[in-house]
Amino acid sequence: MMELLPKELVDKLPKLYEQDGKEEQIVHLKFFDPCSQWTWFVLEYDPVDQIFFGLVRGHEIELGYFSLKELQEYKGPLEIGIERDLWFRPKLLSEVRQSLGAHIDS
């Protein structure tokens, strides 16, 4: 099983609220469930509480908080679990929203 958040990535992620109020926020990581449409785009991370803030595509497309522990524990119907998109490169939140067809307020 893939390590979702290696230490070298933790050190590169902005802390929670670090991008708050910025006109252009950067999405740094993408996690996904290979068995569904659920996708988590990471903007910021709190390494103490292991909580992310980012854009979530699930039943809705919305900004919110999600936990590393929950992503690690979820296995899904085929027992595959959540994966990190190894080919994802940081991009603007506006670009991610556009690619999803999402029109939501910050």
Q: What is the pLDDT of residue 106?
A: 45
Evaluate whether residue 18 is within a structural domain. no
Evaluate whether residue 9 is within a structural domain. no
Evaluate whether residue 37 is within a structural domain. yes
Mean pLDDT by 10 residues, the chain (106 residues): 88 96 95 95 98 96 96 88 96 94 61
Evaluate whether residue 19 is within a structural domain. no
Q: What is the pLDDT of residue 58?
A: 93
Evaluate whether residue 94 is within a structural domain. yes
Evaluate whether residue 67 is within a structural domain. yes
- Counting the structural domains of the chain, the total is 1
Residues present in the chain in total: 106
Range of the domain at 31: 24-100
Edge-to-edge strands of the sheet including 61-67? 61-67, 51-57, 39-46, 29-32, 83-84
Q: What is the pLDDT of residue 56?
A: 97
Evaluate whether residue 14 is within a structural domain. no
Q: How many CA atoms lie within 13 A of 48 on its CB side?
A: 2
Distance CA 81, CA 104 (A): 28
Q: What is the pLDDT of residue 103?
A: 62
- pTM of the shown model: 0.92
Evaluate whether residue 6 is within a structural domain. no
